[in-house]
Amino acid sequence: MAKFIGRRLVYLLPVLLAVTLLTFLIASLLPGDLAYTILGDQATPEKVEALRAQMGLDRPIWERYLIWLGNAVQGNLGRSFRTGETVFAAVVDRLPVSLELMVMAVVLALLIAIPLAILCAVRSGSALDRFVTGLAFGKLSLPPFMVAILLIYLFAVELGWLPATGWVPFAEDPVANLRSFVLPALTLAIAEWPVLMRVLRSDMIATLQEDYIAMAKAKGLRPARILLVHALKPSSLTLVTVAGINIGRLIGGTLIVETIFALPGIGRLLIGAIYARDFIILQGVVLFVAVGFVVVNFIVDMLYAVLDPRIRHGRA
């Protein structure tokens, strides 16, 4: 196991380095120069030169990359030239909101996926199974921003049950805080459940053919007990991993959902930085999200190897 982790770690470092390099290079795609962008209309050649020297923009690109990387490793990603806030403080400030949203989304997605998967597995091939499987396929064509519009229309405009926007800190009013998360989390959950349902359904169908299930039936155990205790646990290995992998994919979804529902999370920070042309914040957040994505995937890989010995011993 230690050898496996070591091998993956050796692989992780170059990927992380490449990700930082790519993030840095994307930022250098900016036409003109960051100094011009910051100074705007007041740019005079002297002022631009002074700012370039101050920001180190007059140095060669590889030197700038190394300086930037050195600072980034120490958690110093610069500060916004619009608000003066440091990137680090901005990210730390918004992170809890995004995490709360993602946790609620995963929980809701599992609450939808598990019962449907069990029903479909038990009655596999039935009209219900075909309907739910078809629904899951159709959902693949319905992106989160459309689901969000539908949910806002239904629950906020027509029924008036839940707020469409407006976020309240948890410490101030827990109920209002949770209410403001219901629609965004539900939007992401609706995007995620089809994948989870498909995985659990096919694993469950395989488990239900095992001898010990027939044994449990022969012993006269109640069907509910057989399904929930004997069959669900061994079937949920892949489900756990897929749920983990999808946390990475959720990041993209939170971007849109946080913007639509005006939740002050990482996604909205990023979109806000784009609207405001705040390139320092943008670069910092892109780096943070990309590195977070790589690390989460690495941890999921590790979990997968812990759960399934075949991965550890098989050829990578």
Partner 1 sequence: MAALDVGVDTAAVTPVRRRRRVGGLFLASVIWIAVVALGAIFADLLPIPSPTYIDMLGKRELPSAEHWLGNDQLGRDVFSRLVHGGRISLTVGLLAPVIGVTVGGALGMLAGYFRGRFETFVSGGVDVLLAFPPLVFALAVTTYLGQSVLNITLVIGILGIPAFTRVARAVTLSLSEREFVTAARALGATHTRILLRELLPNVALPLVAFFLLGVAVTIVVEGALSFLGLGVPPPAPSWGSMIGEGRESLDIAPWLAFMPATVMFLTVLSFNIVGDTLRALTDPRPGAL
Decide if residue 153 touches partner 1 (CB under 8 A): yes
Site map 174..213 versus partner 1, x via CB under 8 A: ----------------------------------------
> Closer CB to partner 1, residue 16 or residue 237?
16
Dihedral Cα 214, 219, 223, 225, nearest 10 deg? -110
Please name the helix (run of DSSP H) or strand (run of DSSP E) that holds residue 206, with its range, or none: helix 174-207
Among 182, 240, 290, 311, binds partner 1 (CB under 8 A): 290
First to last CA, the chain: 14
Indicate whether 127 belongs to the interface with partner 1 (CB under 8 A).
Answer: no
CB proximity list for 246: less than 8 A, separation 6 or greater = 106, 192, 195, 196
Q: Is 152 in the site for partner 1 (CB under 8 A)?
A: yes
* Residue 66: how many other CB atoms lie within 10 Å: 12
Answer yes or no: are the C-beta atoms of 188 and 101 closer than 8 Å: yes
Among 42, 44, 74, 141, binds partner 1 (CB under 8 A): 141
Work out the number of other CB atoms within 10 angstroms of the CB of residue 191: 27
Within positions 157 to 176, which residues make up the interface with partner 1, using CB under 8 A?
157
Does position 30 bind partner 1 by CB under 8 A? yes
Nearer to partner 1, 103 or 229 (CB): 103
Among residues 1, 22, 50, 307, which is the contact residue for partner 1, using CB under 8 A? 22
- Would you put residue 262 in left (φ > 0), alpha (ψ -120 to 50) or beta? left
Q: 79 φ, ψ to 5°? A: -130, 155
Looking up tokens 């091998």 gives 7
Q: Is 79 helix (H, G, I), strand (E, B) or coil?
A: strand
| Min separation Cβ 155 and partner 1, Å | 12
Q: Smallest gap, in angstroms, from Cβ of residue 36 to partner 1?
A: 14
Which residue in the set 38, 282, 300, 305 belongs to the binding site for partner 1 (CB under 8 A)? 282
User: Residues binding partner 1: what is the number (CB under 8 A)?
Assistant: 46
Identity of the residue numbered 248: G
Of 196, 199, 256, 305, which lies in the binding site for partner 1, with binding defined by CB under 8 A?
Answer: 256
Q: In the complex, what is the shortest distance from the CB of residue 112 to partner 1, in angstroms, rounded to a whole number?
A: 20
Burial of 65 (0-12, 13-18, 19+ CB in 10 A): middle
- Using the rule CB under 8 A, is 14 a contact of partner 1? yes
Q: Give CA separation, 250 vs 93, 167, 244, 261, in Å.
A: 20, 20, 10, 16
Return residues touching partner 1 (CB under 8 A).
Answer: 14-15, 18-19, 22-23, 26-27, 29-31, 137-138, 140-146, 149-150, 152-153, 157, 248-249, 251-252, 255-256, 259-260, 270-271, 274-275, 277, 279, 282, 286, 289-290, 293-294, 297
